[in-house]
């Protein structure tokens, strides 16, 4: 989506009462902030993940974990996203999570009948504050599972229009599903149980090990997500863990407003002591340049 498209959306949101019922700038949270190349519902890479409230540190002995994530798009899009999140283990099997995410687009200008700019830039951005709880059960006939709930409040601005909405999201992640080596997950994002102020996203994913030898673990899987009034996203992915190194990649295809896009996602992460540093790249939609992501986390024992 180019900056011109963002500007067109801003104009529509300001001028159309029917659309203004929903909080503006929802499209900015369709970028995979904090995911790099992971499947959204399965990712445990970022503490207090936006995409699944059941997400937790893979290290159950950790007392707390904090993380920073960012995403930048090409200049012709001008979108910048950032997030800070943290988890704290209240007691064995129960943890609390908090996060704050922000996204904005720069250089959207006021125009009338010609390209000449009038006044300053049109503000177009959104912020999201989340708080949640996640619990883990190690022994169950279904497998090793985690379940979580997150309460969120999102507020946004486009030109002179302001809005805000509450949402309540839930998710589950199950490892060794029904005694098999499969891992599955399902979650929601920006689901408003009472009002339709938000366009909710519903996600599910499954993967399985295809190689587990010595210090090397290779997994492959499939992820799908659907966003109300927008479209569908399908993702085939694989990940490799080798000691202190993790690499993830996959092929994504999406349908939105009748258009289809195909993208490749790639990411690599390094673990050192209590730190993880990771970077990722995703091809741009509609022939635009790629977006780039980074993530840094620290585990506190």
What pLDDT is stored for residue 101 in this prediction?
98
Task: Tell me the average pLDDT of the chain.
Answer: 86
- Cβ-contact 211, 225 below 8 angstroms: no
What is the rounded CA–CA span in Å between residue 139 and residue 210? 24
Number of CB atoms found within 10 A of residue 131's CB: 15
Confidence band, pLDDT 50/70/90 cuts, at residue 57: low
Of the candidates 270, 210, 279, which has an alpha carbon nearest to the alpha carbon of residue 239?
210
What is the rounded CA–CA span in Å between residue 81 and residue 84? 11
What is the rounded CA–CA span in Å between residue 249 and residue 254? 16
Q: pLDDT digits over 157-204, tens only? A: 987 788 999 999 999 999 998 889 999 999 999 998 877 788 999 999
What is the rounded CA–CA span in Å between residue 18 and residue 122? 21
Residues 6+ apart with CB under 8 A from 258: none
Does 65 score more than 90 pLDDT?
yes
What pLDDT is stored for residue 52 in this prediction?
96
| Model-wide pTM > 0.85 | yes
DSSP for residue 287: G
Does 142 score more than 90 pLDDT?
no
Q: Count how many domains the chain has.
A: 1
Does 154 score more than 90 pLDDT?
yes
Q: pLDDT digits over 115-127, tens only? A: 555 556 788 999 9
Instruction: Output the CA–CA distances (angstroms, integers) from residue 77 to 6, 107, 256, 290, in the order listed.
Output: 8, 9, 17, 10
Domain that holds residue 17: 3-300
Of the ranges 91-105, 112-126, 253-267, 271-285, which one carries the lowest mean pLDDT score? Answer: 112-126
Of the ranges 159-163, 167-171, 266-270, 293-297, which one carries the lowest mean pLDDT score? Answer: 159-163
Q: pLDDT digits over 6-50, tens only? A: 444 444 444 344 344 578 999 999 999 999 999 999 999 999 999
Q: What is the CATH number of the domain that holds 178?
A: 2.40.160.40
Match 């199950």 to its residue by tokens: 174
Pairing of the two strands 275-282 and 259-272? antiparallel
User: Three-class SS of residue 101?
Assistant: strand
Give the CA radius of gyration of the chain.
19
Instruction: Output the CA–CA distances (angstroms, integers) from residue 35 to 50, 63, 295, in the order listed.
Output: 9, 22, 9
How many C-alpha atoms does 5 have within 13 Å on its Cβ side? Answer: 12
Tell me the average pLDDT across 198-219: 95
What is the rounded CA–CA span in Å between residue 98 and residue 12? 33
């Amino acid at each position: 989506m180019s900056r011109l498209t963002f500007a067109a959306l801003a104009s529509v949101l300001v001028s159309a009462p029917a659309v203004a019922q929903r909080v503006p700038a929802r499209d900015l949270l369709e970028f995979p902030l904090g995911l790099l190349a992971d499947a959204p519902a399965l990712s445990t890479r970022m503490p207090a993940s936006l995409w699944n409230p059941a997400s937790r540190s893979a290290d159950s002995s950790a007392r707390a974990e904090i993380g920073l994530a960012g995403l930048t798009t090409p200049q012709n899009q001008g979108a910048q996203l950032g997030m800070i999140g943290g988890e704290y283990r209240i007691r064995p099997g129960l943890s609390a999570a908090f996060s704050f995410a922000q996204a904005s687009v720069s250089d959207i200008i006021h125009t009338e009948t010609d390209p000449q700019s009038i006044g300053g830039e049109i503000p177009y951005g959104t912020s999201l504050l989340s708080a949640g709880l996640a619990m883990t059960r190690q022994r169950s006939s279904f497998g090793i599972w985690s379940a979580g709930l997150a309460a969120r409040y999102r507020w946004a601005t486009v030109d002179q229009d302001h809005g805000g909405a509450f949402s309540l999201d839930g998710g589950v992640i199950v490892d060794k599903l029904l005694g098999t080596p499969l891992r599955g997950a399902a979650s929601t994002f920006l689901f408003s149980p009472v009002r339709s102020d938000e366009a909710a996203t519903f996600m599910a994913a499954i993967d399985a090990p295809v190689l587990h030898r010595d210090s090397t673990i290779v997994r492959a899987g499939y992820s799908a997500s659907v966003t109300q009034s927008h479209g569908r996203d399908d993702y085939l992915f694989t990940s490799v863990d080798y000691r202190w190194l993790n690499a993830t990649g996959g092929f994504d295809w999406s349908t939105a407003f009748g258009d289809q896009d195909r993208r490749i996602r790639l990411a690599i992460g390094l673990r050192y002591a209590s730190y993880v540093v990771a970077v990722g790249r995703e091809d741009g939609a509609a022939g635009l340049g790629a977006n780039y992501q980074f993530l840094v986390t620290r585990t506190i024992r």
